[in-house]
Amino acid sequence: MADDTQGATTPQPATAPSMNLVGQYIRDLSFENPGAPATLLSGGGNPAFNVSISVGVKKQNDEIYAVELTLNAKANREETVLFNVELVYGGIFRLKNVPENQLSPLLMIECPRLIFPFARQVLASVTQQGGFPPLMMEPVDFSAIYRQNLAKLAAQQGGAGAAAPADGETLN
């Protein structure tokens, strides 16, 4: 059988951009249930939730980046704290041959999008194990967060143009 690809202009695999998820980890997990068991026994109205998320990137070497999601969730019923949870969930990504102008969006949008479902599951499981219904976060639009933070960065720099976040910089 003849090789039909001879002379074809397909990109060489050695130079094609690639992204691989090398591993995932929990760096920090804290669950506080300060009123237990009383808060689990007392009924009452629906609690108020405050949930926040931030993304951080740390370059490990030329190809390896650690992307971490920090999820904070707090539930209150009136003045009583029902639970407070903080999770720092990370992914280790190997990026090869990614053009510089595509690096920041890849690290701040696509990488968090890949690991978010796993962080969300940890958060749900921890709140359930704490005696509450599982907290299921809504899907997150990391692209919108990235755009908002670029706009904030540009405003802080006096409108001198939006620059990509530096290594180790966190976008909230």
- What tens digit of pLDDT does each residue of 102-158 get? 999 999 999 999 999 999 999 999 999 999 889 989 999 999 989 988 888 888 887
**DSSP tag of 110:** I
* Amino acid 157: pLDDT: 85
Which architecture characterizes domain 18-133 according to CATH?
A: Roll (3.10)
Q: What tens digit of pLDDT does each residue of 42-66 get? A: 777 778 889 999 999 999 998 999 9
d(CA 6, CA 132): 62
Q: Give the global pTM.
A: 0.79
Distance between CA atoms of residues 78 and 68, nearest Å:
32
Retrieve residue 81's tokens. Answer: 């704290």
Q: Domain limits of the chain?
A: 18-133
Q: Which positions ≥6 away from 106 have C-beta within 8 Å? A: 19, 95, 98
- Place 171 in a pLDDT band, splitting at 50, 70 and 90: very low
